[in-house]
């Protein structure tokens, strides 16, 4: 796999129907030309992802929403003005330039204008939409550095654009605007409160919501067993656990637990810092061979909702 910072080369790879991994402010994406079924098919093969699972189409800030969405309700325009570029994905009716393979055959499409300067430079140089899931193997923890991408996907990627560590650290917030009342499909890097200030209360995803792999109970999962508990339950969970046990919690919390019989993995005390460090922490703990990770759930406000969501999914039923 070639790796570097050459935007023009990356754009040429996309034009040739190849795969480019690139940084966004949330996590690294594995991108292909969103208007070409053959290019998009390579993403599913590289990730080992089921073909019916739709991808997010990334657009440059000056892209015309109407080219990529067939119907754009007024609320979508308002959200776009307020939150793009940024960690928000809107589900809308699929527009003419989106290849059917990119939506997994669905008549809706997820659209996002990322804020990362390297992602924007790539989208501008390429001139079209870039379909991109997170650049990890299906079901695994999302990559927040180029090293994570290289470790997960290696030679399956034609070019890896290295943009350093991602700033937000958890995936975008996904809001479905294709079915009338706005529905929160996935909490993420943009706080629910910020969105609700524009849309009004978001409904929770229910059984009629479109299936999304990021909403499977077991997803974003490391190899170690993850047990997500309230902070006050951490000492008890450690006492009950067997094997090599680690604790993932805000640094300040460890002061309350002197002599905890576990490997301490402190995270920043603020939820934004926690989100930024979370996936690298889970990967580090896996690499150090721990068997069990006891993770302290943050309060569900702001980015805490996304951090808690990912911890609970990491703690979901084990994959086979
Ligand atoms: O921050 C992010 O969103 C990152 C970066 C690369 O942009 N991307 C990302 O993609 O997390 P992925 O594929 O790992 O997760 C996208 C989620 C999936 O749960 C998928 O099912 C959902 O978005 N999704 C995409 N299009 C959809 C659609 N038309 N309807 C419902 N869900 C959709
Ligand atoms: Mg993903």
pLDDT tens string 263-300: 999 999 999 999 999 999 999 999 999 999 999 999 99
Q: What is the 3-state secondary structure (H, E, C) of 161-216?
A: ECCCCCCCCCCCEEEECCCCCCEEEECCCCCHHHHHHHHCCCEECCCCCCCCHHHC
Residues 81, 40 contacting (CB under 8 angstroms): no
Neighbour count for residue 240 (Cβ, 10 Å)? 12
Please check the confidence at residue 318 and state whether its pLDDT lies above 70: no
Please check the confidence at residue 212 and state whether its pLDDT lies above 70: no
Find the 219 Cα to ligand 2 centroid distance in Å: 8
Residues 95, 67 contacting (CB under 8 angstroms): yes
Please check the confidence at residue 9 and state whether its pLDDT lies above 60: yes
Find the 110 Cα to ligand 2 centroid distance in Å: 13
Q: What is the pLDDT of residues 88-144, one digit of tens each?
A: 999 999 999 999 999 999 999 999 999 999 999 999 999 999 999 999 998 889 999
Please check the confidence at residue 214 and state whether its pLDDT lies above 70: no
Look at residues 115, 88, 96 and name the one whose alpha carbon lies nearest to residue 185: 88
What band does 216 get if pLDDT is binned at 50, 70 and 90? low
- Nearest listed ligand to the Cα of residue 216: 1
Q: Which two tokens stand for residue 209?
A: 């919501």
Pocket test for ligand 1, best of 54, 88, 119 (most atoms within 8 A of CB): 54
Look at residues 96, 100, 94, 132 and name the one whose alpha carbon lies nearest to residue 113: 132
Sign of CA dihedral 264, 320, 241, 221: positive
**Whole-number pLDDT of residue 217:** 57
Which range has the worst mean pLDDT, 64-68, 103-107, 206-210? 206-210
Query: For all residues of the chain together, what is the average pLDDT?
Result: 94
Residues 12-33 have a mean pLDDT of 98
Sign of CA dihedral 30, 33, 35, 37: negative
Reduced to 3 states (helix: H, G, I; strand: E, B; else coil), residue 90 is strand
Percent of the chain with pLDDT over 90: 88
Phi, psi values for residue 126, rounded to 5°: -75, -45
Cis peptide leading into residue 85 (ω within 30°):
yes
Find the 139 Cα to ligand 2 centroid distance in Å: 7
Residues 167, 25 contacting (CB under 8 angstroms): yes
**Whole-number pLDDT of residue 220:** 72
**Whole-number pLDDT of residue 204:** 87
Residues 178-206 have a mean pLDDT of 95
Neighbour count for residue 120 (Cβ, 10 Å)? 20
**Whole-number pLDDT of residue 211:** 54
**Whole-number pLDDT of residue 88:** 98
Residue 135 CA: which ligand 1 atom is closest? 6
Pocket test for ligand 1, best of 174, 216, 221, 310 (most atoms within 8 A of CB): 174
Reduced to 3 states (helix: H, G, I; strand: E, B; else coil), residue 31 is strand
Percent of the chain with pLDDT over 70: 94
**Whole-number pLDDT of residue 257:** 96
Phi, psi values for residue 176, rounded to 5°: -90, 115
Residue 114 CA: which ligand 1 atom is closest? 7
Q: Which two tokens stand for residue 290?
A: 């721990």
User: Which residues pair with residue 213 across a beta bridge?
Assistant: none
What band does 67 get if pLDDT is binned at 50, 70 and 90? very high
Please check the confidence at residue 320 and state whether its pLDDT lies above 90: no
- Scanning the structure block, which residue is given the tokens 């079901």? 139
Please check the confidence at residue 210 and state whether its pLDDT lies above 60: no
Report residues whose beta carbon is within 6 angstroms of any ligand 1 atom: 24, 26-27, 29, 53-56, 87, 89, 91, 103, 106, 108-110, 112, 132-134, 171-172, 174, 185, 210, 212-214
Supply the pTM of this predicted model.
0.95
Q: Which two tokens stand for residue 208?
A: 């009629």
What band does 319 get if pLDDT is binned at 50, 70 and 90? very low
Pocket test for ligand 1, best of 135, 157, 171, 182 (most atoms within 8 A of CB): 171
**Whole-number pLDDT of residue 1:** 77
Residues 178-192 have a mean pLDDT of 96
Q: Which two tokens stand for residue 105?
A: 């055959």
Instruction: List residues, by chain if needed, whose CB lies under 5 Å from ion ligand 2.
Output: 134
Q: Which residue has the higher pLDDT, 218 or 243?
A: 243
């Amino acid at each position: 796999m070639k790796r570097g910072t050459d935007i023009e080369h990356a754009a040429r790879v996309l034009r040739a129907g190849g795969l480019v991994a690139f940084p966004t402010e949330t996590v690294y994406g594995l991108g292909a030309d969103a208007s070409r079924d053959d290019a998009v098919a390579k993403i599913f093969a590289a990730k080992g992802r089921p073909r019916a699972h739709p991808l997010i189409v990334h657009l440059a800030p000056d892209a015309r929403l109407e080219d990529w969405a067939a119907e754009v309700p007024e609320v979508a325009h308002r959200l776009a003005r307020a939150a793009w570029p940024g960690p928000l994905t809107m589900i809308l009716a699929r527009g003419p330039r989106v290849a059917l393979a990119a939506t997994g055959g669905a008549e809706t499409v997820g659209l996002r204008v990322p804020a990362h300067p390297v992602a924007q430079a790539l989208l501008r140089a390429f001139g079209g939409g870039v379909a991109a899931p997170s650049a990890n193997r299906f079901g695994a923890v999302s990559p927040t550095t180029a090293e994570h991408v290289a470790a997960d996907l290696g030679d399956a990627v034609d070019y890896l654009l290295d943009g350093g560590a991602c700033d937000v650290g958890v995936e975008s917030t996904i809001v479905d605007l294709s079915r009338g009342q706005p529905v929160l499909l996935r909490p993420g890097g943009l706080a629910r409160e910020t969105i609700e200030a524009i849309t009004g209360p978001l409904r929770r995803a229910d059984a009629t919501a479109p299936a999304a792999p990021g909403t499977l109970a077991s997803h974003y999962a490391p190899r170690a067993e993850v047990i997500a508990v309230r902070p006050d339950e951490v000492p008890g969970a450690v006492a009950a656990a067997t094997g090599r046990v680690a604790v993932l919690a805000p640094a300040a919390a460890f002061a309350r637990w002197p002599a905890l019989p576990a490997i301490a993995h402190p995270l920043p005390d603020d939820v934004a810092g926690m989100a930024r460090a979370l996936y690298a922490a889970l990967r580090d703990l896996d690499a150090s061979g721990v068997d069990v990770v006891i993770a302290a759930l943050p309060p569900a406000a702001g980015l805490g909702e996304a951090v808690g969501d990912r911890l609970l999914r990491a703690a979901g039923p084990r994959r086979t």
